Structure 1
């Protein structure tokens, strides 16, 4: 096949009511237009009756036009009642990172961004502390210090939203940002804001969760990445991981293990989101790895 380069590929995402013939019709549509499928994943959920499909393709001809594709695909989408979008895979989403004092997740995201492991633009870093400013400077990323307290929280969030809007952020990442976002801000960022937090059995809230876990003799250290909603830490889950812990670990050992797990899980969630691999399925997610 005389194709254009792989980095000029496109991603078609769609969801609709599940039905026989969906996959074959979409595949035939792509084939008839000489659009070479390089990756495909689909799932029909019997519990919700919904169908989810993600397909990545490369046009055989340089004459491919997104506008022509959209106008020709629209009757198909209308026939099946699809919610759909077409993404240019080479376009890097703009990401804003919120952080407090802990820099392990921020540092990991910056490294993966610098090495190309994450196909994103980190457009800004916002923090309620000055602690991580040196990291932003080292990576040449604009750093916004926005202090937050009980008296200025509405103004601080308005300032953060201004930055997010100014850089046209596609995604906001809470990389251990230790302030609870207001319900209003959560709603404004719905579907494009990811948070990371520790997850234990049982769950420990408040200060020093790893020390609480140590005191209870926890045998698993874990982390959960999820979308942010007004329901604190109860948004749709994207990615999780656990690591074994035993009696030999100190509280500091557990905290170190937790930091590694948090960084890894958050990076995976950002990658999944920015590659268009996550679909909302009522209060859950469908994730094509």
Structure 2
């Protein structure tokens, strides 16, 4: 008898979304069974507010009766019936990621460390920066570094170069790892659903310069960070991941900055990992994480 968990088999990731209705899982699981797809992992969620159904399924091809292309054709036919959008890829697929950074390197450093250790399963195709400070760090990891300085007069030209690089490298995600430039509305629209940013979670309470010092003066007791998709509305895109750490009266403003950097780095790395594993589904101005 063939072992469905044979080491020679290939795992595939199948994700889909469709209007919620009775019988979706029955039809999908029935088709997978008929095709011989051995399901090893399955998560789903039906949102009662938006009436949308989301699912993430991992299956093994060891018992497939036909090719993966044949299964894809069968799912395409079912998708027409369910008004479903879906994607199938190998579970070990590594999305191509372009990182943008300015001078602060704490988020970039954690991303590179996790990538080198194999904990972040992406292909980092390059790092772009409007400053030259992080060149040595990036090149030590053997990753191409692109210095693209920017001024208000050259912003459109510089963004065009970033987009050109994004397309040239066939990147699927732009990660703003403390990139201290506001993307234009046009660039935000161009990269909708394909750009992730990080910011401290004091917003909207403490805006502008020295937010940690402002928060210290108010005696805050929790420090956090938010990773979210980039939209035209500054720092208001769908939230992907958040990190918080409690503090107390003994923390100085400088201590708070260090804690804040930790939460920012961890939250951003978590968001990139969720993206790489195909776990993020956009749901209006929110996300579903499966």
Q: 1:14 touches 1:83 (CA, 8 Å); kept in 2? A: yes
The aligned residue for residue 234 of structure 1 is 236
Q: For 1:96 and 1:208, how far apart are their aligned partners in 2?
A: 28
Alignment: residue pair count:
288
Choose the corresponding residue for 2:135, options 133, 152, 164: 133
Alignment gaps of 5+ in structure 2: none
Residue by residue over 1:232-285, the C-alpha shift from the partner in whole angstroms, topping out at 9 and shown as x without a partner, is: 011111111211111100111100100111111111100111111111111211
Alignment of 1:1-289 (within 5 A): 1-5=3-7, 8-61=10-63, 65-200=67-202, 203-288=205-290
Q: For 1:3 and 1:244, how far apart are their aligned partners in 2?
A: 43
Shift of 1:65: 3.0
Q: For 2:54 and 2:95, how far apart are their aligned partners in 1?
A: 22
What's the TM-score once normalised by structure 1's chain length? Answer: 0.96
Q: For 1:259 and 1:132, how far apart are their aligned partners in 2?
A: 16
Shift of 1:91: 1.8
Give the superposed CA RMSD: 1.5
Give the 3-state SS of the residue equivalent to 1:71 in structure 2: helix
Shift of 1:51: 0.6
Q: 1:95 touches 1:172 (CA, 8 Å); kept in 2? A: yes
Q: 1:6 touches 1:58 (CA, 8 Å); kept in 2? A: no
What's the TM-score once normalised by structure 2's chain length? Answer: 0.96
Shift of 1:8: 2.5
Instruction: Tell which deviates more after alignment, 278-287 or 94-103.
Output: 278-287
Q: 2:15 touches 2:278 (CA, 8 Å); kept in 1? A: yes
Give the 3-state SS of the residue equivalent to 1:218 in structure 2: coil
Shift of 1:20: 1.3
Give the 3-state SS of the residue equivalent to 1:131 in structure 2: coil
Q: For 1:282 and 1:105, how far apart are their aligned partners in 2?
A: 27
